[in-house]
Chains A and B, each alone.
Chain A
Amino acid sequence: MKQETLIPKIGVVTDIRIDTPDVKTFRVVGLDGKKVFEHMPGQCAMLSIPGVGEGMFSITSSPTNTEFMEFSIKKCGCLTSWLHMMEVGQQVTIRGPYGNAFPVTTDFQGKDLLFIAGGIGLAPLRSVINYCRDKKDEFGSLHIIYGSRSKDDLVDYQEILDEWMTDDNVRVDLTIDREQEGWDGHVGFIPNFVKELKPDLNRTVLICGPPIMIKFTLDGLKELGFSEEQVYTTMELRMKCGIGKCGRCNIGDKYVCKDGPVFRFDALSELPNEY
């Protein structure tokens, strides 16, 4: 019988990191101990516990990681609650990789990049950030603006402190929504923070986060003088098949699972505002 992408492979959870009260990061390998498949930054995979459900998740690890894949998963329903109860050694089913990717081998080459993430929205961007850090020669400098509700809700906080902030080529600006004890960094919402920081206008921008944050941040960027052609984002719509056939995830004539999830804003603004 021919290969069938809808029939999943087995993944084994080899490590679980507690990121925040509702986000955990899972390390996954195949039964042979190797990566289940290769991917490019921005692509996703369908994870499932048979009988519980199947869901689409960004592959948050970089393709330059040759040993395993990682997923940062926010607890918000049936499947994700189950995944949060898992222990090391649990098997899951996995299929993919699905979707397009950020144009890291083409349009991003040689560019200075600006990453703007809110909450769990860091998951897809982390893959790009670590890819660019591992392939320094191919990219300019990286500027990361990341915010969450509170200090405890910052995903990948330890990695940000230990690896990104100590990297000469990377600038990181963090913010949280409200004052909190033990936090002497910036306080305030991301869109305003971006306007205050006035990032370089020559940067190519990647935004990911809740829809409302994306909307206001984009407005702010335009006010600063950024054009839609400079800004990329990833979309999140309900998905079942992941391959443009079940008919579920379209925005106009584009299927987010196949033609996305990465879109440049000028392309997105030509589509019906149904997302």
Chain B
Amino acid sequence: MMILQVKGVSKRFGGLQALSNVTVDVPPGQILGLIGPNGAGKTTLFNVINGVYKPEEGEVIFKGKNVVGKKPYRLAHMGLSRTHQIVRPLKDLTVRENVMVGACFGSQNLSLGKAARIADEVLEFVRLRERANQLAGSLNVGQKKRLEMARSLAARPNLLLLDEVLAGLNPTEIAQMVEIVKEIRTRNTTIIMIEHVMHAVMKVSDQMLVLDFGKPIAYGTPSEIANNPKVIEAYLGDSSLADQFNAELAAKSAATAE
């Protein structure tokens, strides 16, 4: 059984068709990479999945239930958690308290005592343990990204939506974060990962979905995606990403040539 099924979802903002007829199945335990140029509707798809926006058309089936119209907190209780592209730390609470919110109110509905234990564990995992007593507002960008990650992990989700957790990180931090993502997967958490850092997302994804102007234009394994002319075309409007893509392609073909 699929953990998540998105069926023919469309979402409009005024005159803008942010998503049109998006369909995708996510089997449990997999990592789905979600890519596409800026404004393609990736974050909007997350917002539709976790109940922030209600789609005009289509269904979102999470763990066998249609969740369209359910509030975000209901989805959190059902075992869905997410990070935000633009980090949203609870600034005047400590780092530990931030993570405890995730643990207390997520799928496990933990007591404060248990939540504190989980929080320390998860903070250790994302290497923020030493910062536990600091106010979340005082962290730097990389740390805030890891806090987002810790908070959503503490909820013990079945499905984790990661929205550009690598953006704004330096290469070392990216490598660390990729390790974290891989580690999460070994624990049987399903992940959908929006990412612009191609080499990273290609490395961890089982399947990838490409959106362009709200439409799904390609779906397949990372190597299928990297060789898909439609995808390359979609990225051509965005030269830096197109370059990344071509580099990726070159690397892949070099690897196959060997």
> Is B truly associated with A?
no
A: residues with CB less than 8 A from B are none
Interface residues in chain B, defined as those with a beta carbon under 8 Å from any beta carbon in chain A = none
